[in-house]
């Protein structure tokens, strides 16, 4: 049985991004380690749901519909994600508004 470790952010590893209604360019995560996966803390600072997708440089976040889409993060929510070693970029999408989202890489959680 492994011990649960609290989340510890990497140094200078927080991005504050604005989600937009038009799919844009994916942003490279700050402080993501090379060659291994890591934990990511995501904080939706806005008042509307934000959709998020991690991946490579060409990743796009999609609002869910009949064909599926990206995972949603509720307004004001803080979530922790485990990303794979090849996932060094993040994309955001939103149905309305321009909420800001903080994304921090680290370990534990």
Longest dimension (CA), the chain: 44
- Averaged pLDDT, 58-85: 93
**What is the distance between the alpha carbons of residues 92 and 60, in angstroms, rounded to a whole number?**
7
Q: Which residues of 8-23 are buried (b: 16+ CB within 10 A; e: fewer)?
A: ebbeebbeebebeeee
pLDDT digits (tens, 9 = 90+) for 10-55: 889 999 999 886 667 799 999 877 666 789 999 999 999 999 999 9
68 compared with 37, residue with greater pLDDT? 68
pLDDT digits (tens, 9 = 90+) for 75-93: 999 999 999 988 999 999 9
**pTM score over 0.85:** yes
98 SS3 class: coil
Domains of the chain are 8-107 (2.60.120)
């Amino acid at each position: 049985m492994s011990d649960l470790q609290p989340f510890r952010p990497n140094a200078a590893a927080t991005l504050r991004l604005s989600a937009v209604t038009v799919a844009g360019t994916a942003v490279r995560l700050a402080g993501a380690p090379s060659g291994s996966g890591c934990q990511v803390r995501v904080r939706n600072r806005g008042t509307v749901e934000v959709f998020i997708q991690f991946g490579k440089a060409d990743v796009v976040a999609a609002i869910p519909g009949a064909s599926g889409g990206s995972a949603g993060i509720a307004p004001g929510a803080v979530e922790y994600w485990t990303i794979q070693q090849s996932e060094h970029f993040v994309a955001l999408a939103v149905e309305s508004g321009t909420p800001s989202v903080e994304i921090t890489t680290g370990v534990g959680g």
